[in-house]
Structure formats: C-alpha cells, structure tokens
Structure 1
Amino acid sequence: MSETYETQSSCGDSCSSCQATCSSRKQEKEDFREPLNPYSKVKKVIGIVSGKGGVGKSFLTSYLSVLINREGYHTAILDADITGPSIPKAFGIHEKAKGNELGIFPAVSKSGIKIMSVNLLLETEDTPVIWRGPVIAGTVKQFWSDVLWDDVDYMFVDMPPGTGDVPLTVFQSLPVDGVIIVTSPQELVSMIVAKAVNMAEAMNVPILGIVENYSYLECGNCGEKISVFGTSHVEETAEKYKLPVLGRIPITPAIAEAVDAENIEGLNGPWLTEAVDALKSLLGEERQEKEDNGFCRIAVPTDGNNNVFAHFGKAAEFTLYEFQENELVGKTILDSKGEGHGATIEMMKREKINVVICGGIGMEAMEGLMNSGILVVPGAAGDADVSVAAYLDGGLNESSKATCGCQGGNSEHNEGACNCK
C-alpha cells in the first residue's frame, strides 16, 4: 500500500494534532480584509442591515451617527448602498468629493460628521448607477481604503438590503465590530430578521440588537399608540434569537420633515436611547482607560503660521495637540471658520478638548469654556508649540490683559488685549 493510503486509513479525523499534509486537511481561512488608508484611523465599524428593503436603514444610519456625534464622539458614514444612495441629501450635502495624491476627502456635515457616498462622485445626483455586482463591490472597498477618514470613533455603514454581493463584501473586507438589524412590525419580520441573523453569524460578526422602524403612530390629541402595520412581533423575534431591542421608531411627521428639509442633524427624538448606550459601551472602557492613562487634548487658536492668534472668538483655525503622559502623539488643525465664540465653544466640547491655551478672550467665552469643564489658559503669545511646551512644564504665565469686557465691534487691539467676547 502507498504511504498516502496508510496515512489516510489511520486518520482519526482530527487535523488539530496531525502533522500530515493531505486533501482532507482544512485550509486556513483566507483574510479578505482591505487595508485602511494609512492616513485614516477608524476605531469601530457598525453595519446597519436588514433582510429586505424599505425598512429605514438609511435613516437609522444617519440618525445614529447624529446621536453618537452629540455624545462627543467623532462619527462617519460609509454609504454602501451604491445603487440607492440617499444619505448626503438628508444632511444637505450636494458638493462633489475632492481629493489629492493621498486619497479622497469625505464630505463633512454641519456638525462634523464625515460622509462618503457614490452621489458625491456622480456627474449629477440623479445619474443612475447601472453597474454590475463586482464594480459595486469594488467601489465599497475603495470607500474604505481610498478615503481619508482621519480620526473616526464610530463609522456607520449603510448596507443595501438582502444578503448579496455588497453585504458580503462589507463583512469580508471591513473589520465590522457589530451590526444592528432594522425591521418593521409586519408578520414576516421573523423571516427578515432570520436572514440577517444567519448571515451575520455565518460571517462571525456580532449582532448588537434590533431596531423596529414604523413601530407605531402616536395620536396627537390623546397620545395613544396606534399599530398601523399590525401588532409588533419584535419582542418575540428578539427573544427567539436572544437579541436586545435597541429602539422603536414611530411614524412621525418630524422625521419626514427633517429629512425633506435636509436637516437630520436638527431632529430630536427619544427613540434610540438603548442603541446609543449599546454603541457607547463599545468605546466606553477604551476612552476611560485613555483618560486614566494621562491622555490630554490641548487646543490653541493659531494664525496659519503656528503663532497664537490674539482673538479666541475670531480664530479661523485651532491647532490641536494630543498628549499621552506628556508625550505628543498627534497634532492637527481644526477649522473653526471664525464663526464666533459660541460656535467655537461647541466645537471645543465636540472635540473633547481638555485645555484651551489662547491670547485674548472675553469673559463670556471664558465662562462658557469653564462651564463645559475646559481649562482656559489665556495670555499666551508667539509660537504655539512653545506656549504648549511652557504650559506642560508649568512655566506659562497668564497675562493681565488676557480678557476684556467689550462686546465686539471694530476697535483695534491694544498690546494683545482682546476686543471680542
């Protein structure tokens, strides 16, 4: 008998301890993941999926990104629904995407959410995408690897319905940390959820929970919840698959009005509290560990030449320094557009700034920062790097002319004093 036959005849069907090479040995699982752009940083990738279309995946993707962004995290949306892109319009974004030799720049919403969609690349917004599956799948991969995502805490991926090429590409090519399944109240919801659950499990992707859209209509007079599409089956379906229900979204004119007005960032509703909590927990321990390990973000208004800009409220840019145990780990530019101290304070809160080092600053702006838990160190001048280093060394002295009581206007500066709020 041949050596091969003897080896196979004595095989105990356990490849884990066998050193022989034969056709029955299971091959190592191939890694199909695409590399992230080297200039990007994405911490968590969340897929929004469903077994069928028309259940509101794009709305949930958009609104969850808004809600998590309000919690102070940096969010982004990768619109993988290539043939039915609708997300840019909900945010009022109509310009075309730009780029350079490093990659493609995503569009940025009013509140700082980064968005990439095929609609930002088409000649016109109503140009149909008549592409075959491999081209569509390739586009999704490019959105991951060719786009400059910068620093993203949560990326939400809006996937097309079903279990076809694009969902498979996303699961295989992106490091998906979890999916949220979107359903509606109809009887067939169990079958819809089953398709999404089975695909996620087959791809070894965690399922965070279920969100039911079109859950009910609330009477404007008495507050009664009317089940327009019949009795909800989401609880029994969730129990069947041992999944939490992360929210029930009602049928309400407020949602349609916000989307139609291209102002989803202005929408306010209490329907997704559980979903937000579940998502925050994914980064909660990581963020707390970072804070416990001496992580600090310092912002300095600068003039384009790395010098401290004299007006806090009028600065068009801020240089952001990130330190870990007093070691510089990042330095970037924040665009504040000189929109005034109110908008700038909101940006400081959104960016989770710990310290602001500045030149002149009005009392109202200083109080706004301090009330937000941000330490203010006014009176700085000259090179921003030097000022930050002096602060860390404990040698940055505050100027007696750091603040002023003026209410704006066109009066001139006097030896670095501030003439704005």
Structure 2
Amino acid sequence: MSEASENCSGSCGSCSEDCSSRQQSKEELYEPVNQYSKVNRVIGVVSGKGGVGKSFITSYLSVLLNRKGYETAILDADITGPSIPKTFGIHEKAKGNELGIFPCYSKNGIKVMSVNLLLEEEEMPVIWRGPIIAGTVKQFWTDVVWGNVEYMFVDMPPGTGDVPLTVFQSIPLDGIVIVTSPQDLVSMIVGKAVNMAKAMNVPIIGLVENYSYVSCGNCGEQIQVFGKSNINEVAEKYHIKVLGKLPLTPEISNAVDSENIEGLEGSWLDDAVALIEENYPGRIQSECGCKTMQNQRIAVTVDEEGNIYQHFGSCERFAIYDIENGVQKSKSIIETNSKGHDEISRLLVEQDATTLICGGIGESAMKILMSNQIVIVPGQQGDADVQVAAYLDGATIASSSPTCGNHDGEEGCGCGCNCSCH
C-alpha cells in the first residue's frame, strides 16, 4: 500500500490511489459490532442478479463449517427477500432486552438473524425505502448479541445498490463469494460484482456456479441444461478462482423445501470450505494463542451431589473442567461463599473461565460474563459430567438469552423455581 502523495487534497472521494489515508478512511466507516459479540471472520455472499441460489450457498457454507466444529452465523441482509430462516426451519421470533437482540438458533447451533424473525407474520412484505433497509442491516451488526462467532456469512441482496454498498462500507468483510449461473450474461454480471468489490477494496474469495448441470440418473453424464458453462473463462478474465459447480438436483431443492438444509450431504462446496479455512482462519484465539473450542476452562454450577445447581446467584460451588485438545484433563471444585450474581460472575472471570454451563441465570449476570467473552450454556439439568460431555460433543449449544427474570416479582425468577436465583 502506497503512502499519500505530496499532492493529496485530503478527499478520498475523487481519488483512486490506494494509499494509507484511504485505508484509514475506510476503517473509520465501519460500525462497531455489538459489545457482547466477538466475530472473527465475516464473509459476504453476493450476486449480480437474483435467482441464482445465493441464499442456499450462504446457508450451506455455514452448515459445512459448522460441521467442522466452527461457531457459525448468518446475517441475512436480503431484507426484502429473506429466506434464510425457512431454509433452517426457524419460525420462532427473535427476542431482546437491554443487552440487545438475540439471534435464533438452528438445530445444530447456527446463529441466524433475519427480518423475518422480527415480523409478526412471515408473509408480510417489507415495503421500506432504501435508507431504512440499510439502517436495519447496520442494526443486525451493531445491536444483535452474536456472542462468539468464528465465521459469519452475510447474505446480501442481488445487485450493487444501497444495501450491498452499506454492507461493504459498514461491516469489516474479510472477503466475498460471488454466486452466478451458466448463462450468457454471466461475464457482465460477474464483472459488476468484481468491480464493486475492487472499488470498495474487498478481497474476492472466488466464484461459485449454481445450476451448473444435471446428472443423468442412468449413466451419470452431466447435461448442461442452461447451455455451455463459461465460468472458467470468466474466472480467468478476472483472475479469480472457481470454488465449485453445483448441479440442478432434487436433492438440494428437497432439503430446502423441507427446511432441513442441515441434513443435506454433498461435496460440491468442499473446495470452497478448504480454501476459506486455509486463507481465512476462523478459529477464535484466546490470549495464550490456544484454540478456544479445543482448549477451554468450563465452569459448571453444581450441588453437593455433582448435579447442575439451578440458581446461579445462590450457587455455593463450581466444578471447573480444564479441556485440552477437546479432552478433559482435570476437574476441580471452587467455593463461592454465595456472594451473589455480580460477585460470582467476577469470580468466574478471575478463574479464566471460557464457558459456563448452568441452570437458571439472569440478565445482569449474563451481561458481566458476556462482556468478558465467556460463552454461556444455560437451562441445563442433571449430572455435571454428562452435560460437559454433551457440550463437547455438540449436543448442547450456547445461548445469549437469560433463563431467569422477574427477580423482584412475587412469582419468583420466571424459570419455574419460585425463588430468587439471580
């Protein structure tokens, strides 16, 4: 990157020079992520036109990386055409409190935020003007409590209008994946997306061609129903990589229509995932440089019998599990002296806990823990050893939603225990 020239006017708007001043100006435009979130890699999925399966590619990339043990999330920036929640079978409504808006979770723990999770009815159209839509996308980045995310995929609307521009300018994208289909317009459409990315100084990870062919069920021949693909020539023209070619197959459409994309099995995007892993390492690093998902210190609220104690604020002891390379290495017990939820929360911070597994926990305690990047797995019951093993196996997932409330009311904390467990 070059330094600013002696003739620099200080205005980047009319200058094409990629100097340090321009880079600084770009970074100053980024919106801050929610204070209770730590997002390591952000990858945009774009297309020059609609109808090319961009949302499917977004969803399946997140599924494949989630299967590899990464914490993944999807920010659905396609505000007027949101389809991500239905792809995962998510029909609940997103909730929020003073901490922010909480994303919804797929069956396997992928975090999703979409405007459809905020509308009263899924079929309601979003009849908003551009500035309001762009503002909503920004809020999905700044106001949503994402927690720890290793790979976030942003499903952007097609084209090069207000919303894609807002994403490029407001969210620190590590790179983009361009989705296209085998048609004569491919070169022009891809060119628009490539040139926009270059103008915004965002790296292009590569191209994915959807609806590339149909496989004959008898002989396996690949039939190009939309004509001969020229994706390789287009990729060569713009000096970018082809990440994959996906077939037009009932297997994919059935998985989407049945809202079970997490059950789909296919190797079409394996090369794309491998390239992303290699060039954009997603694992969130702890201060010591360890992989936080493989090396953890898990704190569990426990009673005298080793079962999960249900009331965080009155917990008298924690079981501390030290995990190295995904395997438990030690277990110890620490006493709390029932200091209350604020003091107990700070105790876990002092103990360098990376994860908390508990029963009921209130909003105030979660705020302290999340601000210190401690992952919380609330609402658990039973033997602590069993629940730790379940968490390590991926059977239970973290959440940003408190499981206790109404601490001052006569009906107790709201979790069914009828006591003050805050």
Answer yes or no: is the 8 Å Cα contact 1:216–1:249 preserved in 2.
yes
Alignment partner of 1:234 is 2:231: yes
Equivalent residue number for residue 298 of structure 2: 299
Residue segments in structure 1 that go unaligned for 5+ positions in a row: 1-13, 354-421
- SS of 1:185's equivalent in the other structure is coil
Cα distance in 2 for residues equivalent to 1:231 and 1:209: 20
Equivalent residue number for residue 377 of structure 2: 334
Equivalent residue number for residue 44 of structure 1: 41
Alignment partner of 1:279 is 2:276: yes
- SS of 2:29's equivalent in the other structure is coil
Alignment partner of 1:258 is 2:255: yes
- SS of 1:93's equivalent in the other structure is coil
Aligned-residue offset at 1:280:
1.1
The one-letter code matched in structure 1 to 2:45 is I
Equivalent residue number for residue 74 of structure 2: 77
The one-letter code matched in structure 2 to 1:310 is G
Provide TM-score, normalisation by structure 1: 0.71
Equivalent residue number for residue 172 of structure 1: 169
Aligned-residue offset at 1:285:
8.4
Alignment partner of 1:213 is 2:213: no
Cα distance in 1 for residues equivalent to 2:61 and 2:199: 26
Q: Which of 50, 61, 66 is equivalent to 2:63?
A: 66
Aligned-residue offset at 1:147:
0.3
Alignment partner of 1:118 is 2:161: no
Cα distance in 2 for residues equivalent to 1:20 and 1:247: 44
Aligned-residue offset at 1:242:
1.0
Q: CA 1:81–1:103 in structure 2 vs 1: closer, same or farther (change >3 Å)?
A: same
Q: CA 1:24–1:59 in structure 2 vs 1: closer, same or farther (change >3 Å)?
A: closer
Answer yes or no: is the 8 Å Cα contact 2:46–2:179 preserved in 1.
yes
The one-letter code matched in structure 2 to 1:34 is E
Equivalent residue number for residue 367 of structure 1: none
Cα distance in 1 for residues equivalent to 2:78 and 2:11: 42
Alignment partner of 1:348 is 2:372: no
Provide TM-score, normalisation by structure 2: 0.70
Alignment partner of 1:186 is 2:230: no
Q: Which of 216, 222, 225 is equivalent to 2:222?
A: 225
Report matched runs for 1:391-406 at 5 Å: none
Cα distance in 2 for residues equivalent to 1:198 and 1:19: 24
Answer yes or no: is the 8 Å Cα contact 1:76–1:113 preserved in 2.
yes
Answer yes or no: is the 8 Å Cα contact 1:103–1:148 preserved in 2.
yes
- SS of 1:328's equivalent in the other structure is coil
Answer yes or no: is the 8 Å Cα contact 1:88–1:117 preserved in 2.
yes
Answer yes or no: is the 8 Å Cα contact 1:50–1:57 preserved in 2.
yes
Equivalent residue number for residue 139 of structure 1: 136
Alignment partner of 1:310 is 2:306: yes
* Percent identity of paired positions between Structure 1 and Structure 2: 58
User: Deviation per CA, 1:344-376, whole angstroms, max 9, x where unpaired?
Assistant: 7564144999xxxxxxxxxxxxxxxxxxxxxxx
Answer yes or no: is the 8 Å Cα contact 2:30–2:171 preserved in 1.
yes
Answer yes or no: is the 8 Å Cα contact 2:214–2:222 preserved in 1.
yes
- SS of 1:284's equivalent in the other structure is coil
Report matched runs for 1:4-19 at 5 Å: 16-17=5-6
Cα distance in 2 for residues equivalent to 1:256 and 1:208: 26
Cα distance in 2 for residues equivalent to 1:86 and 1:22: 40
User: Deviation per CA, 1:269-309, whole angstroms, max 9, x where unpaired?
Assistant: 01001110111124538668978658621335545xxx587
Report matched runs for 1:343-382 at 5 Å: 345=389, 347-350=391-394
User: Deviation per CA, 1:155-182, whole angstroms, max 9, x where unpaired?
Assistant: 1000000000000000000000000000
Cα distance in 2 for residues equivalent to 1:238 and 1:22: 33
Q: CA 1:15–1:266 in structure 2 vs 1: closer, same or farther (change >3 Å)?
A: closer
Cα distance in 1 for residues equivalent to 2:353 and 2:35: 16
Alignment partner of 1:100 is 2:100: no
Equivalent residue number for residue 363 of structure 1: none
Q: CA 1:302–1:88 in structure 2 vs 1: closer, same or farther (change >3 Å)?
A: same
- SS of 1:195's equivalent in the other structure is helix
Q: CA 1:114–1:19 in structure 2 vs 1: closer, same or farther (change >3 Å)?
A: closer
Cα distance in 2 for residues equivalent to 1:157 and 1:137: 14
Cα distance in 2 for residues equivalent to 1:251 and 1:217: 5
Cα distance in 2 for residues equivalent to 1:280 and 1:41: 18
**Equivalent residue pairs, number:** 335
The range that moved more, 262-271 or 30-39, is 30-39
The one-letter code matched in structure 1 to 2:257 is D
Answer yes or no: is the 8 Å Cα contact 1:50–1:162 preserved in 2.
yes
User: Deviation per CA, 1:66-117, whole angstroms, max 9, x where unpaired?
Assistant: 0010011100000000000011001111111100101000001110100000
